[in-house]
Amino acid sequence: MNALWHGFADMGAVDRDGAFVIARGEGAYVFDTAGKRYLDATAGLWFANVGHGRGEIADATAAQLRTIAHYSNFGDLTEAPTQELAEKLSSIAPVPGSKIFFTSGGSDSVETAAKLARRYWHEQGRADKKILVGRRFAYHGMHYASTSLGGLTPNKEGYGVLVEDTRTVEWNDAKSLLALIEEIGAERIAAFFCEPIIGAGGVYLPPEGYLAEVRQICRDHDILFVADEVVTGFGRIGGSWFASTRFDLRPDLMTTAKGLTSGYLPMGAVFIAPHLAEPFYAGGTWFRHGYTYGGHAGAAAAALANLAIVEREGLLEEAARLETTLHVALAPLAEHPRVAEVRSGLGAVAAVQLVDPSEGPALVKTLREHGISGRAAGAGAMQISPSFVMTDAQVADLVAGFASALG
Q: In this predicted model, what pLDDT tens digit does every residue of 139-174 receive, in sequence order?
A: 999 998 889 999 898 889 999 889 899 999 999 999
Confidence check: pLDDT of 326 > 80: yes
Q: In this predicted model, what pLDDT tens digit does every residue of 189-201 receive, in sequence order?
A: 999 999 999 999 9
Output the CA–CA distances (angstroms, integers) from residue 46 to 263, 279, 314, 320, 325, in the order listed. Answer: 9, 35, 19, 16, 18
The contacts of residue 396 (CB under 8 Å, 6+ apart) are: 329
Amino acid found at 10: D
Task: State pTM to two decimals.
Answer: 0.97
Longest dimension (CA), the chain: 65
CA dist 49 and 231 (Å) reads 10
Predicted confidence band at 316 (pLDDT cuts at 50, 70, 90)? very high
Does residue 187 sit in helix, strand or coil? helix
Confidence check: pLDDT of 339 > 90: yes
Neighbours of 308 (CB within 10 A): 15
| Terminal C-alpha separation, the chain | 34
Alpha carbon 171 to its chain centroid, in Å, reads: 17
CA dist 124 and 127 (Å) reads 8
Query: What is the percent of the chain with per-residue pLDDT over 90, rounded to a whole number?
Result: 95
List the 37-40 sheet strands across, edge first: 22-26, 29-32, 37-40, 372-373
Mean pLDDT of 277-295: 96
Radius of gyration of the chain (CA): 21
What are the beta bridge partners of residue 204? 198
Confidence check: pLDDT of 2 > 90: no
pLDDT, residue 329, reads 98
Q: In this predicted model, what pLDDT tens digit does every residue of 202-240 receive, in sequence order?
A: 999 999 999 999 999 999 999 999 999 999 999 999 999
Amino acid found at 342: V
Output the CA–CA distances (angstroms, integers) from residue 159 to 45, 80, 156, 379, in the order listed. Answer: 25, 41, 6, 21
Q: In this predicted model, what pLDDT tens digit does every residue of 349-403 receive, in sequence order?
A: 999 999 999 999 999 999 999 999 999 999 999 999 999 999 999 999 999 999 9
Q: In this predicted model, what pLDDT tens digit does every residue of 239-271 receive, in sequence order?
A: 999 999 999 999 999 999 999 999 999 999 999
pLDDT, residue 372, reads 98
Q: In this predicted model, what pLDDT tens digit does every residue of 53-89 receive, in sequence order?
A: 999 999 999 999 999 999 999 999 999 999 999 999 9
Q: In this predicted model, what pLDDT tens digit does every residue of 17-51 receive, in sequence order?
A: 999 999 999 999 999 999 999 999 999 999 999 99
Average pLDDT, the chain: 97
Confidence check: pLDDT of 344 > 80: yes
CB 258 within 8 A of CB 110: no
Question: What's the number of CA atoms in the CB half-sphere (13 Å) around residue 395?
Answer: 25
Output the CA–CA distances (angstroms, integers) from residue 336 to 321, 366, 402, 403, 405, in the order listed. Answer: 25, 16, 11, 8, 11
Confidence check: pLDDT of 1 > 80: no
The contacts of residue 359 (CB under 8 Å, 6+ apart) are: 338, 380
Predicted confidence band at 131 (pLDDT cuts at 50, 70, 90)? very high
